[in-house]
Chain A
C-alpha cells in the first residue's frame, strides 16, 4: 500500500541536517503502524512525506521514491491524494476550516465535488459510526479539544480514503478522549484501512497497532511487531527516548512541614448561570507539587485561574498561612505557564524577557539575579537569543525564569508536557523539582502519568467543578490515580 525507497529529505533554511535519511519502508494494506522516536527524529517528517505535504507544500530537498496506493507522490497533486490519504493533525484548534460541526464534516467532500445525495449518505454514515450525533449543529469553538479531534477524524473519514495518517493526535487530549479516539481507529482498522500514527504516548495503542517503526536522527532505528515492542523493558524504551508504558509508581514524595499551608474556602465560580467551580474547603501544604487531574471540562483550568486571581468573578477566600489574600495579591504572587507558551513571551531577547517588570533593583543586582536564574533554569547559553527561536521546552524554562525573577511563590502549569518525548518530559520534571527545592508551591494540570510520578507529591482529582479526591501518595491514592490513567 505504501512503499518508500531510499527517501532523503532536508528542510529549507534548516541548521540541522537531513530530516530523513535513506528511509526505506514497505507497509502492507490494512496494517496499523505506530511511528515513534524522540522529537525531531523524523516521524512527523515521514508522515508528511506520505500525505504529500513534503513534495507539495514545504520547500526542501527531496530524493527517493514514495509510492502510495499505486501513485507516485511527487507526480500527483495534493487534491488528488486527498481521496487516498486522510490526515489528522496534532492541534485540534487549528485544523477546522468552517465554524460548525456539520459543515466541517462535509468540507472535504464538498471540495471533491461529490453529489449532494452522496455527501449526505457519507455524512450519515460517518456520524453514526463515530457516535457524534450530539455534536451536530454546534459551534466548533465551543467544543473541547477531544470533541474537535473527533470532528477532524469524521471530516477526513467522510472522504473514505484507504489510508489514514495521524500526527500526534493524542497530545492535546484528556484520558477519556484518548479512549474515544482509539475507538475510531479501531473502526478504521476493522474496515481494512491502512493507518499510520506518529505518537509519543504509546500505551493507548498497545492492542491496536500491528507494527512499530522507531526513528532516530532521520533514520529507521528498528522496525518490529507491536507484540514484541510492547514487551521491551522500560529501560530499553527510555534509551530510545520513548515514553514507557509502565506501572504508575510515584517516585517523588518529599514531605513538607505542615506549618504553612494554602487554604481555600467556599470558592465558587458561575458562568452563564452554570456553576463551573464549587469548592467548599480545601487545604494544601505550602511547597507541595500538586498534580491536578481529571477529564476535560472538570474545572481544572478554572481552579487554577481562580487560585491565581485571573478570574475576577470568583467568590470565596484563599488564605496563606492563615492570612487572607485578595485576588489582586494572588496575581502578584502567582504565575501560570500556559499550554501555548508563545502567548507569554513578549520581548526580543531571553535576557530582556526574564527581567521584564523587575524595577526595584539596581543594575548590578539585576545582573546578578539574572545570571543566577539563567544558571538555575539552564538557559545561560541562550541569554541573547530571541525567545521565539528556542525549542518548546526552552521557551517554557524562559517563562519560568521570568516568574522567578518576579519572585512569584505559586506557579501553575497547564499541561506542560503535552506532546513531549521522554527526554523533554524529564527536563520539565527536573525544573519542577528544582523549584520545589526553592520552596515554591506548584500546581500542574496534566494528563501525563509519567510526569505525575516523576515530580508530584500531592494530587487533586476533579469532577464537575468539584474536588472529588485529593491527598498525598498513600496506597489507595496511588491505586486510584493508576486506574484513572489506565489506557491499555
Chain B
C-alpha cells in the first residue's frame, strides 16, 4: 500500500529537511536577530537572516504568508523611521520602540511558522527521541504542534458566534478580549482533556522505547544547512565575546 510510512527519506512536504535541522535554523535566525547588533560582520549577516524566512515561506508554497511577512517587516522597518521625528518622546518610547523591536522578532516567528507547517507531530517526536530528549519534555511540545490548528478552528467558531450576537466591537477592547478568550479557553481545556485520554488509552505513557515510522535522517541539504547555521552561531558567540 502506498503510504508515507514506507518512505525512507524526508519528502517534499517536509521540504527534504530533518526536523532537527529546521529547529537549528529556527534557533540560528532567532539568535542572530534578537541578540546581535548591527555591527562588524553582522552588518551582512542580519539582512541575509531576514531574507531566509522569506525564501522558505516561498518554497513551501504559502505565498500569502510570504507576502504578510514582507509587508509586516517593511512596515516595522520603515514606519518608525518615518514617524519618530514627529512624535512626543513618551509615544516614541512605547509605540515606536515596540514596532522597531518587531523587526527583530518577525523573522524568528516566521521560521517557527515554517517549522510547524512542515513538521508533523510524529516527525517531531521521532527527532526528539533521536536526540535522547525525555518524554516529559517532548509530549507537551508535541501537543502544542497539534494544538495550533485546533486553536485556529475554535477561534473561527467563536468569531462567528460573536458576529451573530453583535458583541465585541473594537470600541470595547477589554470586552472583546474577554468574550473571545473565555470560550476559547473552555473549549481548548475540554479538547486537551479528551486528547490526553485518547492518547493514554493508546499507550502514550508506555515506558518502553517507542518505535518510529517516520522518515527522518540527515541528507546533503541538512549538512549544508547545519554547517551554515553552526558557522553563524560561532561567529555570533565570537562577536559577543570579543566583538569582531
- Residues on A close to B: CB < 8 A? 51-53, 56-57, 77-79, 81-83, 85-87, 89, 91, 93-100, 102-103, 106-116, 119-120, 123-124, 127-128, 133, 136-137, 141, 152, 155-156, 159, 305, 308, 310, 331-332, 334-336, 338, 340, 342-347, 356-357, 388, 402, 406
Please classify the interface of chain B as helix (H, G, I), strand (E, B), loop, or mixed, using the class held by over half of its residues. helix
Q: A residues within 8 A CB of B213?
A: 103, 106, 110, 116, 119-120
Bound: A98/B182 CA distance, A: 26
Q: B residues within 8 A CB of A406?
A: 165-166
Task: Decide: B203 and A78 in contact? CB cutoff 8 A.
Answer: yes
Q: B residues within 8 A CB of A93?
A: 150, 153, 191
Q: List 14 A-B contacts (CB under 8 A).
A: A79-B206, A82-B206, A89-B194, A89-B197, A95-B198, A97-B146, A98-B146, A103-B120, A109-B211, A115-B211, A127-B3, A137-B2, A335-B165, A343-B158
Task: Decide: A111 and B210 in contact? CB cutoff 8 A.
Answer: yes
Bound: A63/B122 CA distance, A: 38
Q: Tell me which of B187, B191, B210 contacts A343 (CB under 8 A).
A: B187
Q: A residues within 8 A CB of B150?
A: 93
Task: Decide: A98 and B187 in contact? CB cutoff 8 A.
Answer: no
Residue B232 is within 8 A (CB to CB) of chain A in the complex: no
Which residue of chain A has the shortest Cβ distance to B179 in the bound complex? A346
Bound: A284/B125 CA distance, A: 54
Task: Decide: B195 and A346 in contact? CB cutoff 8 A.
Answer: no
Q: Which of B1-48 contact A (CB under 8 A)?
A: 1-6
**A-B interface pairs (CB < 8 A), number:** 189
Task: Decide: B5 and A103 in contact? CB cutoff 8 A.
Answer: yes
Bound: A110/B200 CA distance, A: 13
Q: B residues within 8 A CB of A340?
A: 157, 187
Q: B residues within 8 A CB of A335?
A: 164-165
Which residue of chain B has the shortest Cβ distance to A334 in the bound complex? B164
Bound: A115/B209 CA distance, A: 11
Task: Decide: A79 and B3 in contact? CB cutoff 8 A.
Answer: no
Task: Decide: B206 and A106 in contact? CB cutoff 8 A.
Answer: no
Task: Decide: B1 and A99 in contact? CB cutoff 8 A.
Answer: no
Distance (whole angstroms) from the CB of A405 to the closest CB of chain B: 10
Bound: A25/B139 CA distance, A: 37
Task: Decide: B166 and A98 in contact? CB cutoff 8 A.
Answer: no
Bound: A99/B204 CA distance, A: 16
Task: Decide: B202 and A338 in contact? CB cutoff 8 A.
Answer: no
Q: B residues within 8 A CB of A78?
A: 200-201, 203, 205
Q: Tell me which of B161, B183, B202 contacts A108 (CB under 8 A).
A: B202
Distance (whole angstroms) from the CB of B181 to the closest CB of chain A: 10
Kindly list 4 other residue pairs between chains A and B, CB separation below 8 angstroms, not including A53-B201, A113-B208, A152-B198.
Answer: A97-B202, A108-B203, A119-B213, A357-B166
Q: A residues within 8 A CB of B76?
A: none
The list of the 5 closest CB pairs from A to B, nearest first, reads A94-B194, A108-B202, A82-B203, A79-B206, A344-B161
Q: Which of B65-104 contact A (CB under 8 A)?
A: none
Bound: A100/B7 CA distance, A: 15
